[in-house]
Structure formats: structure tokens, C-alpha cells
Amino acid sequence: MEAKAKYNERPWLKFYAEGVPASVEIPERSLPDVFDEVTGKYSDKTAVIFYGNNISFKKLREDVDRFATALYELGIEKGDKIALYLLNSPQFIIAYFGALKVGATLTPISPVYTSIEVKHQLEDSEAKSIVCQDLLYDNVERTGMELKNVILTSIGDYLPLSKKLAGKSVLGRVYGKMEVPSSQLLQRPGFHQFQKLIKEYPPNPPKIEINAKEDIAVLPYTGGTTGMPKGALLTHHNLLACQMQTQAFWPILEEGREVIPAFLPFYHIYGQVVVMISGLIQGSTLILFTTPDLDDILSAIERYRATVFFSVPTAYQYLKDYAKTTRVNWKRLKIITCGADTLHESTAADWERRTGAKILEGYGLTECSAVSHANPMGRSKVGSFGVPLPGMMAAVVHPETSEFVPPGEIGELLLQGLNVMQGYWKRPEDTRETLIELDGKIWLRTGDLVSMDEEGYFFFFDRKKDLIKYKGYSVFAREREEVLTQHPQVKTAGVLGIPDPDVGQIIKALVVLQAEARGKISEEELVKYCAENLAHYKVPKILEFRGELPKTDVGKVSRRELREEHEEA
């Protein structure tokens, strides 16, 4: 009872920055309604800068309305699923809000997915229409699926004339094996050209009544950490709640005045909600990048006087040592944040020494519409992913018994809030296992092992499924990876448990060395380094060098793929 009472006290509220409320009232409004209000208010202001092409809120609204009209005329009805298989581009934004205006549900697909993964998401989501980058269409074709509508678009459609050839060459390097489909494809029934639809249809979309709390806006698929990815049901209310909670947590951000580099992928919930939706709804200007080129991003931050920087740990790991990083006056930015993975303490320390600016680490997941925690302005803690956002409730429970554990003890993170999903699409059993009733309330089980300190700050240890059991000891894979990556000759590391009948699991480390260290340092030397810095039971029994490790969409080492690789071997 005492442990539960500690969470109910919400000790984190004492450390909110000045002006941050304990909770936020979320209006029952749809995202298109809020979008229309903002685009009307800031009609002449630049909404998107796309490689030198400045798109005003007025122009963006007009193209959204034209696309919504086109979708309606193509027979898209309320509740229909539309897949977005697009790179970051103005077309992603236009298709996103245009589809929501006709009451459709969007399911964004990762551009790096194979045809097998594309097919799974199309089939599982029941999407019958797709808005697709022409360069990626080959993967759709190979699924063999018959779709009602295929809307193709080129990255060059919104590039200035001087940038069109450059844009194609960049994408050619990134997606070298992909080819632009023949123009004859557009002669097939159900195939349409994005720009042609924008030109042919007027900006007169239908008035569709949307129930913000019940109608599903987006069906994003989780990263497939436990088998095939599954869709999280997120309503308009869920997404707006997350946007307003993060906005309230950072009162330093001013409506209509921020400039945000938008290189995080929009198909991912982090880039989609925190950058795209939140940025536009607050009347910010997005500097949009199709590919995250460091030189382009750093130049744009200075040229356009960016005020906010949202990023991921892998980017900071590169930037802290990148020669051109100091061209930016990072102390001038209002907020520099990190999410989507755990930020190593060594990376945060190196970054601050190099730039003089702090990184505010946060936490979230698809099932809570992107964000649940962040470090308060002026009172961040290194190693902590912060405190719950206004209106969020968080607690730590024993992973097996679901009993509340006291501050300082490790357990599974539970969340409550208006941004929490409605459940998993067509997965009632998974929904029952994830959305549980405890103490008369519904909680989201995150599957993450964390602890909370006496002040209400939370600390991440590992995914529950990545916990390694060696001779009865609990070993956290993330802790081993952090020790390895602190070695100056190690670039990346992945750690997993290998089943063993005698000890439970043997610890295996897969390591990518810095280029200059390859062939000059041995596996034995790194094992010895681990033995000097870790308890005996935490030292890897197997250490293997690799040229690279599989990564998730946002740059995390994919332990799932490493496990699958071991099982196949």
C-alpha cells in the first residue's frame, strides 16, 4: 500500500518547470479541425521549407483540401484504411491531413521495409489504397496484392527546379536498387499521379463528422519486437492529447515562432507526432529533409535559425565527434531533446563538453502516441528519461505479480493517460495482456524495466524480454552495451542471452569496431576490458566482431534480429 501511495503522490510535480500545469484539458476536436484553425491563423507564414522551396500554411492547406477532395471522389469513405509508403516530403503531410479530412485511417509504412513486410502491413491493416513514393513502388508490386487505389508521387514534385536533379541523385544513392516505375503504369485502372490529383480537384473537401474520442486516426505498427508488428489504435483524441501534453511541458516554446529541423522519419510515431503534428499545430516552420544528411541539417540550423532540435541517440553519437558540429551555436537553441532509444551517459557528457548544451532525454512508445516522459527544463538528470508529462500517471510494478514496488526498485513501467491507445488492431488477446486493470484503473504495460527515484524521475534498464538470466543473476543487456561502447575503439555493440542448459543463458556480445581499430584489437582484449569494468557474472562469455549490426528504423541495435539470426544458425 505504501509503494502505491508514493506513485499516487506524483512526486515529479514538484520539479516541473515554472508554468507547467499538473494536467491538461484536451478538447474533443479532430486533427483536421485543429489543422484548419492553425492554417487559417498563420496563412501567410511559411509552414515548410523543402530544400529551398518555401510552402506557406495557406498553400499547404489548399493542397490538403485538394487532395481530400480527390480522395473523396475516388470513393474513399470514412473508416477506410489508407497506407502511406512515403519518404519525408510535403506529400506526406498533404496525404496525411487530406486523408484525415475524409475520415480515413492512416497506416504509415517504413520506406526500408521489404515487400514481405509491406504485404503484412497492407493485409493486416486491410488497407485498399496506398500513397506511394514512385521509387518504392516495386516493393508494392512484388506483394502481388490488388489495391483499389495506388497514388504515386515523385520526390521532385515539390523540389525547386534547381534541386530536382540533385534530389534524384541523393535518393539514387540511398535507394540504389530501386527504380522509378514506367509512366505506362499510370494507365492501369486505379493508378493515379499525386500532382495530377492536386491540380485537377478543387479545394472543396466534404464535411465529414469525426468523433475525436472514438474514430481511429492512425494505425501505426509497432517495431515487431515480439514477432510480426501489430497495429496500435490511436484516435484523434489520443494524438491531440500527446501534442498538448508535450506543448504544456515546454512552455518556453511559443506558438507561431519556432523553427524545427524535420529529419526524423514521419512514418515513425516520434517524427510523426512530436515533429510533424506538433510542429504544424503550433504554427511552427518545419525545415523538411528527405534524407538525414548531417551537413544539410547543420547548415539549415544556422541558416534558418532553428530553435528546437529533436533527435535520437545515434545522431548524437555521430554529432559529438563530427568536425562540423561546432558550426552551430547549440546554446542558442531553446530545447535539444533525445528519444526513441536510451541515450548513453557517456554520449550525453561528451556532447555537453563539446557544445555547452544539455540534451533533455525523454521516453515514449507507439502505444502512447509517442511520448509519456521527458526531463524538465532546468532540472534534468543524466541517465534518467525524466518525469511523466502533465496528465500522465506512471508506476512501477513487479513484472510477474503486478504489485507496486517502492522507489529505487526495478520493475515494469505502467502508464495511464489520454494519449494511451485503444488497443491493438485485431489482436484482442494482445490487448488484454497489454491494457490491464489494476486497482480499478486501466494501465498500459510497456514491457520496459525501469525504476523511479524518490523525486519521481524514471530510469530505464532494459526491455523485459531482453533481460538475461545467468546462474540466477539478472543481467541487463543495455548495461553491457553501454560499457562496451565506452571503449574508445568500439563503435556499436549488441548483447543478447544464448540459452544454455547449465547456466540458463550465456551472455554474447556482438561488436562493431571503429574503422581504424579493425585488425588491431582482439576479442580477448575486449573481454578483459569488460572483466575490469563489470561484475564477473556480467562479463560476456562469447564476443564476436561484426562489420555492422542490424538496426531498427530509428537506429537502435535490433536485438530481435540478432536473436532470430542466432536461432536460424
**How far is 262 from 311, CA to CA, in rounded Å?**
9
36 burial (CB, 10 Å; 0-12 / 13-18 / 19+) is middle
pLDDT for 173 equals 52
Q: Please report, for residues 157, 219, 295, 427, the alpha-carbon distance to residue 120 in angstroms, rounded to integers and kept in the order given.
A: 29, 14, 36, 14
pLDDT for 472 equals 64
H or E stretch covering 490: strand 490-500
pLDDT for 471 equals 67
Average confidence (pLDDT) over 379-395:
95
For residues 450 and 458, is the Cβ–Cβ distance under 8 A?
Answer: yes
Count the neighbouring beta carbons within 10 Å of the beta carbon of residue 44.
7
pLDDT for 172 equals 55
List the single range of 266-270, 420-424, 528-532 with lowest mean pLDDT.
Answer: 528-532
pLDDT for 225 equals 40
Cell matching residue 380: 534534468
179 has a pLDDT exceeding 70: no
Q: How far is CA 154 from the centre of its chain?
A: 24
382 has a pLDDT exceeding 80: yes
177 has a pLDDT exceeding 60: no
**How far is 52 from 88, CA to CA, in rounded Å?**
15
**How far is 125 from 112, CA to CA, in rounded Å?**
18
List the single range of 49-63, 216-230, 237-251, 388-402 with lowest mean pLDDT.
Answer: 216-230
Percent of the chain with pLDDT over 70: 94
**How far is 285 from 48, CA to CA, in rounded Å?**
6
Average confidence (pLDDT) over 117-133:
96
pLDDT for 226 equals 45
445 has a pLDDT exceeding 50: yes
Average confidence (pLDDT) over 170-178:
55
Highest mean pLDDT among 9-18, 156-165, 468-477: 9-18
pLDDT for 538 equals 83
Average confidence (pLDDT) over 420-432:
95
> How is residue 274 annotated by DSSP?
I
DSSP string, 235-246: EHHHHHHHHHHH
86 has a pLDDT exceeding 90: yes
List the single range of 107-116, 172-181, 457-466 with lowest mean pLDDT.
Answer: 172-181
Q: How many CA atoms lie within 13 A of 49 on its CB side?
A: 19
The model scores a pTM over 0.85: yes
Specify the residue for cell string 544513392.
173
CA dihedral 73, 135, 276, 372 (to 10 degrees): 110
**How far is 530 from 547, CA to CA, in rounded Å?**
20
pLDDT greater at residue 539 or residue 233: 233
Q: Mean pLDDT over all residues of the chain?
A: 91
112 has a pLDDT exceeding 50: yes
Count the neighbouring beta carbons within 10 Å of the beta carbon of residue 436.
15
pLDDT for 554 equals 67
Which domains are present in the chain? Answer: 31-209 (3.40.50.980), 238-461 (3.40.50.12780), 471-568 (3.30.300.30)
pLDDT for 559 equals 79
pLDDT greater at residue 245 or residue 534: 245
**C-alpha closest to that of 344 among 453, 460, 451:** 460
Average confidence (pLDDT) over 166-181:
57
503 has a pLDDT exceeding 90: no
125 has a pLDDT exceeding 60: yes
Average confidence (pLDDT) over 545-557:
80
pLDDT for 501 equals 75
pLDDT for 224 equals 46
160 has a pLDDT exceeding 90: no
pLDDT for 170 equals 52
**Model pLDDT for residues 292-345, shown as the tens digit of each residue:** 899 999 999 999 999 999 999 889 988 999 999 999 999 999 999 999 888 888
Q: How close are the terminal C-alpha atoms of the chain, in Å?
A: 48
Average confidence (pLDDT) over 478-487:
83
pLDDT greater at residue 568 or residue 5: 5
Cell matching residue 490: 568500439
List the beta bridge partners of residue 108: 84
Average confidence (pLDDT) over 444-470:
89
Average confidence (pLDDT) over 174-181:
60
Average confidence (pLDDT) over 144-159:
93
